[in-house]
């Protein structure tokens, strides 16, 4: 694939789509997008060899959406996908790209979902339908899905559909599509049967595959960490704690994730700054200069912004989001190992992206070795040894007064010095506990949901009531569902911190989001009372996360979180008064950092520049 440097605008996408891409924080088309948008907009068929992680959904969704007639309420684009998860993900991607297109509807349909619900949704005439082959065929046979107005059919992950036994259904759908409609076939691999389908049904297709630059990368120790989207932040923080790091560059995909991650790391005490294409030149140069001089340890960058970056101090490159192709990978990791030094590159991959990892390995003729997320024990060891270093420094000072205090306390409490020391240590470590909860990998369903969450750079807004203003008080004890995520089951919890402690909704969201590593979009209704607060969280929170949350302090008080169950109703005078829209945009309000999240103190704080 030739390197096409055109922007989304130059590729000719409509203003509505450009606005949506800007909202999502996409800075430039990925290689597969640059290559697919032209031919698909010109009405050509394409055969794309690309896997998840390359931006292939946008590669077909954007150009096809460009020619959708919003006033026509009939399916114009049909996408076949192998699984329910993928169908929903792709439908969500269409939805976010088309968010400024008035009257636009997209519908995912898959087996296992109520037929009745699907029928009434189909009657509304969505312009885009994304479905699994069996269910799509079913509706076509019943006459409830008509393809008379179809402009394009997309087969997404065709090899996966083949593996799942859908080949006959696919053939059937292909035979029933209108003759003049376009066909795009995407597949990570090209087994014989897929080639046969391609030869039979594609007419004069443009072939597209992601770059396979054969560059080798030396002097860089390359590792990968397999982690779900949900656990990435926790995994990153552990890696940062354990690795002996100098300067670090962390690569993410979008401007939005760049800002969000910088805020989250800063909240955890890391001297970090975003570096993205929307920052003015001066702000970018300042960030890079600060990294060079050691005033900053971490830059969180997008590919666009990190172009040409040459800082000797960079010992680590972390690919927090997997790059779109091997070329981008080589480019990213080349930011370390400068000036003859050795460097380390760590790549975070979700299950679905494992294939992309192998492609990168092949293309770069290098081995990327697996690396485990540091265990709680390893992190605890590091914390303990750091604590030891700090104590050593203190020992060098004058401690006469304290020695007397120790003797007096031991006498007063009738305990020996060991017990006193242990109790003091317990107090000292409260904010950065030596015992960490284990990372819980969620079940596949929710992992997929998380992966979807990242698709739009995590920009889904917190839920409001239907009028967009104050939340409606609900009865204490039963959780409200998330409006944007009705499939996430919620549970109501109570925490023992309330208005009387000076707590705000922002403190609570910040503490829960950071300490339980929950995306703020999954935090539901919060009601502040004088003594307590109720909060709705996804059902089935792991036990160790709850145990940890119990100890987290906000406004000086431990949360002591527990399921609300039959908790008694607060008095009428204790009714929630604060509107829920005082919640912060991100996970943590600036200058409103929860106690449990204080910086470690052994890292420099990020200089507060007025950017
Ligand atoms: P896909 O390969 O389609 O599954 O996309 C993988 C991820 O890349 C999704 O989270 C998308 O939101 C994101 N993505 C797709 N295109 C771009 C782009 N041009 N810039 C930044 N992120 C993108």
> Does residue 588's CB lie within 6 angstroms of at least one atom of ligand 1?
no
For range 294-319, the mean pLDDT: 88
> Does residue 26's CB lie within 6 angstroms of at least one atom of ligand 1?
yes
Residue 571 — pLDDT band, cuts 50, 70, 90?
Answer: very low
Report whether pLDDT(325) > 50: yes
Q: Which DSSP category does 393 fall into?
A: H
Please tell me the CATH superfamily of domain 220-375, with its number. Answer: P-loop containing nucleotide triphosphate hydrolases (3.40.50.300)
> Does residue 253's CB lie within 6 angstroms of at least one atom of ligand 1?
yes
Report whether pLDDT(566) > 50: yes
Is 29 in contact with 7 (CB distance < 8 Å)? yes
> Does residue 254's CB lie within 6 angstroms of at least one atom of ligand 1?
yes
Which structure tokens are listed for 496? 């023992």
DSSP 326-390: HHHHHHHHTTSS-TT--EEEEEEE-GGGHHHHHHHHHHHT---EE-PPPPHHHHHHHHHHHHHHH
Give 261 Cα–ligand 1 centroid separation in angstroms. 17
pLDDT of residue 153: 98
Residues 6+ apart with CB under 8 A from 63: 13, 36, 37, 38, 40, 41
pLDDT per position as a tens digit, 91-139: 999 999 999 999 999 999 998 888 888 999 999 999 999 999 999 999 9
Q: Which atom of ligand 1 is nearest the CA belonging to 29?
A: 19
Give 54 Cα–ligand 1 centroid separation in angstroms. 7
> What is the spatial distance between Cα 517 and Cα 554, in angstroms, rounded to a whole number?
16
> Does residue 25's CB lie within 6 angstroms of at least one atom of ligand 1?
no
Nearest CA to ligand 1 atom 14: 55
Nearest CA to ligand 1 atom 9: 455
Give 58 Cα–ligand 1 centroid separation in angstroms. 7
* Residue 575 or 254, more confident: 254
> Does residue 58's CB lie within 6 angstroms of at least one atom of ligand 1?
yes
Strand order in the sheet with 272-275: 272-275, 298-301, 247-251, 314-319, 343-349, 220-226, 369-370
Give 203 Cα–ligand 1 centroid separation in angstroms. 28
* Residue 382 or 65, more confident: 65
> Does residue 255's CB lie within 6 angstroms of at least one atom of ligand 1?
no
> What is the spatial distance between Cα 259 and Cα 246, in angstroms, rounded to a whole number?
21
* Residue 538 or 195, more confident: 195
pLDDT of residue 253: 94
Instruction: Please name the CATH architecture into which domain 446-563 falls.
Output: 2-Layer Sandwich (3.30)
Report whether pLDDT(447) > 70: no
Instruction: Please name the CATH architecture into which domain 3-209 falls.
Output: 3-Layer(aba) Sandwich (3.40)
pLDDT of residue 472: 34
Report whether pLDDT(569) > 80: no
Is 576 in contact with 535 (CB distance < 8 Å)? no
Phi, psi at 493, each rounded to 5°: -120, 160
CA-derived radius of gyration, the chain: 27
Q: What is the dihedral of CA 410, 416, 422, 427, to 10 degrees?
A: -10
For range 196-221, the mean pLDDT: 82
* Residue 182 or 511, more confident: 182
> Does residue 257's CB lie within 6 angstroms of at least one atom of ligand 1?
no
> Does residue 454's CB lie within 6 angstroms of at least one atom of ligand 1?
yes
Is 477 in contact with 492 (CB distance < 8 Å)? yes
Report whether pLDDT(458) > 70: no
What global pTM score does this model have?
A: 0.62
> Does residue 504's CB lie within 6 angstroms of at least one atom of ligand 1?
no
Q: Which atom of ligand 1 is nearest the CA belonging to 53?
A: 2
Give 322 Cα–ligand 1 centroid separation in angstroms. 10
* Residue 233 or 4, more confident: 233
> What is the spatial distance between Cα 548 and Cα 527, in angstroms, rounded to a whole number?
22
> Does residue 455's CB lie within 6 angstroms of at least one atom of ligand 1?
yes
Report whether pLDDT(607) > 50: no
Give 197 Cα–ligand 1 centroid separation in angstroms. 27
Residue 477 — pLDDT band, cuts 50, 70, 90?
Answer: low
Task: Find the DSSP H helices in 365-504.
Answer: 376-395, 400-413, 417-428, 444-455
Residue 528 — pLDDT band, cuts 50, 70, 90?
Answer: confident
Is 167 in contact with 161 (CB distance < 8 Å)? yes
Report whether pLDDT(72) > 90: yes
Nearest CA to ligand 1 atom 19: 29
Residue 439 — pLDDT band, cuts 50, 70, 90?
Answer: low
pLDDT per position as a tens digit, 406-419: 999 999 999 999 99
Strand duo 369-370 + 298-301: pairing: unpaired
> Does residue 51's CB lie within 6 angstroms of at least one atom of ligand 1?
no
Name the residue of 4, 5, 37, 55 to mutate for ligand 1: max ligand atoms within 8 A of Cβ.
55
> Does residue 256's CB lie within 6 angstroms of at least one atom of ligand 1?
no
> What is the spatial distance between Cα 323 and Cα 222, in angstroms, rounded to a whole number?
14
């Amino acid at each position: 694939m030739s390197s096409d440097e055109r922007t989304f605008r130059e590729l000719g996408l409509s203003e509505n789509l450009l606005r949506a891409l800007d909202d999502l924080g996409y800075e430039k088309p990925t290689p597969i997008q640059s290559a697919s948008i032209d031919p698909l907009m010109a009405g050509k068929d394409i055969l794309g060899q690309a896997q998840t992680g390359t931006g292939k959904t946008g590669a077909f969704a954007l150009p096809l959406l460009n020619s959708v007639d919003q006033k026509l309420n009939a399916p114009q684009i049909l996408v076949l996908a192998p699984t329910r998860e993928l169908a929903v993900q792709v439908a969500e991607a269409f939805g976010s790209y088309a968010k400024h297109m008035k009257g636009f509807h997209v519908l995912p349909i898959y087996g296992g979902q109520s037929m009745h619900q699907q029928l009434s949704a189909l009657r509304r005439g969505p312009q885009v339908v994304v479905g699994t082959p069996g269910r799509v065929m079913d509706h076509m046979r019943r006459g409830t899905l008509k393809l008379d107005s179809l402009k394009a059919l997309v087969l997404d992950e065709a090899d996966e559909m083949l593996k799942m036994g859908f080949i006959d259904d696919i053939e059937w759908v292909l035979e029933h599509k209108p003759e003049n409609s376009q066909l795009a076939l995407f597949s990570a691999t090209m087994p014989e049967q897929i080639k046969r389908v391609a030869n039979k049904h594609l007419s004069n297709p443009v072939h597209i595959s992601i770059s396979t630059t054969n560059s080798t990368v030396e002097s860089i120790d390359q590792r990968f960490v397999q982690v779900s989207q949900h656990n990435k932040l926790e995994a990153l923080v552990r890696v940062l704690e354990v690795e002996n790091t100098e300067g670090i560059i962390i690569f993410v995909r979008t401007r939005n994730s760049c800002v969000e991650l910088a805020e989250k790391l800063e909240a955890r005490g890391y001297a970090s700054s975003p570096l993205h294409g929307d920052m003015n030149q001066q702000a970018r140069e300042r960030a890079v200069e600060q990294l060079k001089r050691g005033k900053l340890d971490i830059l969180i960058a997008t590919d666009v912004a990190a172009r040409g970056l040459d800082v000797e101090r960079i010992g680590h490159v972390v690919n927090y989001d997997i790059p779109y192709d091997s070329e981008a990978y080589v480019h990213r990791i080349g930011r370390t190992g400068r000036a003859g030094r050795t460097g380390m590159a760590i790549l975070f991959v979700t299950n679905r992206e494992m294939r992309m990892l192998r492609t990168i390995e092949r293309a770069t003729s290098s081995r990327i070795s697996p690396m485990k997320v540091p265990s709680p024990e390893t992190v605890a060891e590091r914390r303990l040894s750091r604590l030891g270093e700090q104590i050593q420094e203190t020992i060098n000072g004058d401690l006469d007064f304290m020695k007397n205090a120790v003797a007096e306390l031991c006498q007063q409490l009738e305990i020996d010095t060991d017990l006193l020391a242990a109790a003091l240590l317990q107090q000292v470590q409260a904010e950065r506990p030596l015992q960490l909860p284990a990372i819980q990998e969620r079940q596949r369903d929710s992992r997929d949901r998380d992966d979807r969450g990242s698709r739009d750079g995590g920009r889904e807004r917190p839920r409001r009531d239907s009028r967009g203003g104050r939340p409606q008080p609900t009865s204490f004890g039963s959780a409200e569902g998330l409006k944007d995520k009705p499939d996430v089951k919620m549970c109501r919890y109570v925490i023992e911190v309330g208005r009387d402690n000076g707590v705000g909704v922002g403190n609570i969201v910040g503490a829960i989001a950071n300490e339980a590593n929950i995306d703020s979009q999954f935090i539901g209704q919060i009601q502040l009372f004088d003594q307590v607060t109720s909060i709705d969280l996804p059902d089935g929170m792991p036990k160790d996360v709850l145990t940890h949350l119990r100890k987290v302090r906000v406004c000086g008080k431990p949360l002591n979180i527990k399921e609300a169950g039959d908790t008694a109703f607060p008095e009428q005078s204790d009714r929630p008064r604060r509107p829920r829209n005082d919640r912060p945009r991100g996970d943590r309000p600036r200058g409103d950092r929860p106690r449990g999240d204080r910086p470690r103190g052994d890292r420099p704080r990020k200089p507060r520049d007025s950017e």
